Chains A and B, each alone.
Chain A
């Protein structure tokens, strides 16, 4: 099941990469930027501070962490609750954004 979800996510990610031809830098029009800014309050602007630095992390590691947190008890950790607010395709967009921010 876990593998299946990840595969679906990669399809979304691949589709976007192809469409935008972005490679290594975050463009002003990255479709994940505004969604990812929901993370800045606790992880720092562009993921460069706070609880866990997200800038420059691989998109698959961010995606997998979010999926793990979604599956845990919501009221035990604020991120378990928070992760539930985003769909798979949204999580891939967010993860792709942070993976392209210079650390």
Chain B
């Protein structure tokens, strides 16, 4: 895109809307740096021409972003140019990462790259950190600015930045990396937490805290408690798992997790609801860590504090986008377009869609969004009248059994939101079984292939 055109567009509309973009426009005029137009390769897996023409930038290459990029090409065709931007060259899966904690798998086995999206689907992958956006106006062009000064232009912007954490009193990022992990964005902290558990003394205390909802993967923390309890029973006799939940009750698969806590892992898991973290005192010398809640102080050999969540920084930096309590992005669930900023779409954990924040349903939100954008780029602006999505997940309860949970969501036109279809969930597995554990592995492999390959 030409710089003059870019500046002109800003003058017309976008200046007042998103401050980082606006500030950037001033810098641009002074520096005169070049803007980068995305290029897309034609491939045989992608239809040549579906009637849709335009360019889309997807910010964030997780479950939502990768899926959106793939289906924009698959459904939009070669005339829809797609650029996927992520700060990392690879994606570390949160799904299955609790199985790193009992040594069943490793983070390197849970790492996915963007090679198939690039070579088979012709997606332009750019590694970089997005620091500002200028929303496209009408059928015109907007832009995404990276920390290194590069500028990418497009007709539609999809934001899929996942989540950010609130600060925990007493903890710094360095303390979280090395001593009191969250391990809730899978990666080095997951591996660190696994090592801490492996080195725990028998008869020790593993204490974990769960933030107030909404947080990503509603069954995930309870699953973690089960997997760790199962490992400690076998390897560190006499140890306890103390679960401090800021919520008043178990947030997902209540029947199954209550059974796991009181029967399967009876005497190991001590579940305590209504326990909001007030402060943490990390030991950096191998001693016990302390966590203080609204009602008690507990001491832990291994302490795992999952902080409360909010939308990704690119959204909370822009008050117009973070129009749900300043923390989440309001979206039209027929397209995932922001309810406040046209041509900017938000999918996955950052969106306030009324649905769970989890990878399987993020994949479906991405398909809905890709379909809506593809149609818009064909000139069809009529929203999908009856969107449907589904959430499904498997949770390991021991090293070789798992449960599952599913919901199908339909569109409530009166309130413009997604609601569970009557009779279709949430429904949880009758029991944790080995068959479910095997199905979990197949589900995970297929879901990741649908998103990344």
Contact = CB atoms under 8 A, between A and B. Distances in A.
Interface of A: 28, 33-35, 37-38, 40-45, 49-51, 73-76, 78, 81-82, 84-86, 90
B360 A41 contact: yes
A82 B390 contact: yes
A14 B389 CA distance: 25
Given A28-B47, A42-B447, A37 B423 contact: no
Nearest to B431: A75
A71 to B, nearest CB: 12
Interface string B429-453: 1100000000100110011011000
Contact of A28 (B50, B367, B404): B50
Measured as residues with beta carbon below 8 angstroms from the partner, the interface class of chain B is 35 or more
A42 B51 CA distance: 30
Please report whether the interface of chain A is mostly helix, strand, loop or mixed according to DSSP: helix
Contacts of A44: 446, 449-450
B364 interface: yes
Nearest to B76: A28
Contact of B427 (A41, A43, A45, A81): A81
Contacts of A50: 442, 446
A38 B408 CA distance: 9
B1 interface: no
Contacts of B421: 84-86
A81 B368 contact: no
Contact of A90 (B388, B423, B442): B388
A18 B421 CA distance: 30
B439 A41 contact: no
A98 B285 CA distance: 59
Contacts of A76: 430
Interface string B162-201: 0000000000000000000000000000000000000000
12 contacts: A38-B364, A41-B392, A41-B447, A41-B450, A44-B449, A49-B446, A51-B443, A51-B446, A75-B430, A82-B424, A84-B425, A86-B388
A51 B443 CA distance: 8
A56 B49 CA distance: 24
A85 B47 contact: no
Nearest to B371: A34
Q: Sorted from nearest, which 6 A-B pairs have the closest CB atoms?
A: A85-B408, A85-B424, A50-B446, A81-B427, A75-B430, A84-B424
B134 to A, nearest CB: 30
B102 interface: no
Given A28-B50, A37-B364, A86 B446 contact: no
Contacts of A28: 47, 50-51, 75, 77
